[in-house]
Amino acid sequence: MPDSRVPRRRRYLVCEPRHFAVLYAINPWMHPDEPVDVIRALDQWQALVDAYRVHGHTVDTVKPVPGLPDMVFAANAAVVVDGRVFGSLFHAPERRPESVPYEAWFKSEGYDVYHPESVCEGEGDLVPAGRWILAGTGFRTTREAHSEVQEYLGVPVISLTLVDPYFYHLDTALFVLDEGHDGNIVYYPEAFSPGSREVLARLYPDAVLATREDAMAFGLNSVSDGRHVFISPGATALAGQLADRGYVPVPVDLSEFHKAGGGIKCCTQEIREIRS
């Protein structure tokens, strides 16, 4: 295995959790009767932003809006490939207003935003992986949205079916280590239907496979820059596997956000420009 990897500088969009709370339940992690420590959430979020910047990445922020407690989960707002922004149409009515401030931010930066006709939750279920986009369905984003994504972005889309409600978004069950032609991924097999597991095994015969323990610790809700992997400190076995393969785990505790079913990747939207 390689003893070193080369990172690529990224541009991330995040949203401060000033109004973060669990006010409703739209996944098994959410319990409105359990209080959220907003001060702790703010500290954890800032630690993530600082970690990105320390490792050379650009971090932009969108202003949080009162009454939108899940707006901190920036990944769900869109997917951006080659400077094209494919927006979101959230499954839950409570989250649908989040699309408006994110669209306004992208437009202020000079982007056009595509409005999906079908339910689609951004990078929560759409994971760019080099030659194609891995696309989740089963709980949130629909298969019809997968077709819209392919038509708009002109990138082949690989549909994958999620079957475990604890892993309701693709980015809770899988993340990309490298986006190059021969890129690789990490995933938790049991989060997927049998046919989808076969597809992943064919596409990624050398993938890193995670245990349920690491998946439940939000180890699959990680962000990789090709060398550094920003990962939940609870995913210890997975971090060991990654280190053995030449990656550098960077533990960042976002445990307060686990109360809403989110973690590092959920809080991180990557803006992918056209590469020269």
Known catalytic residues? 169, 266
Quote the CA–CA distance of 75 and 223 in Å, as a whole number.
Answer: 11
Nearest alpha-carbon partner for 158 in 181, 186, 131, 194: 131
Quote the CA–CA distance of 14 and 17 in Å, as a whole number.
Answer: 9
Residue type at 142? T
Quote the CA–CA distance of 267 and 77 in Å, as a whole number.
Answer: 10
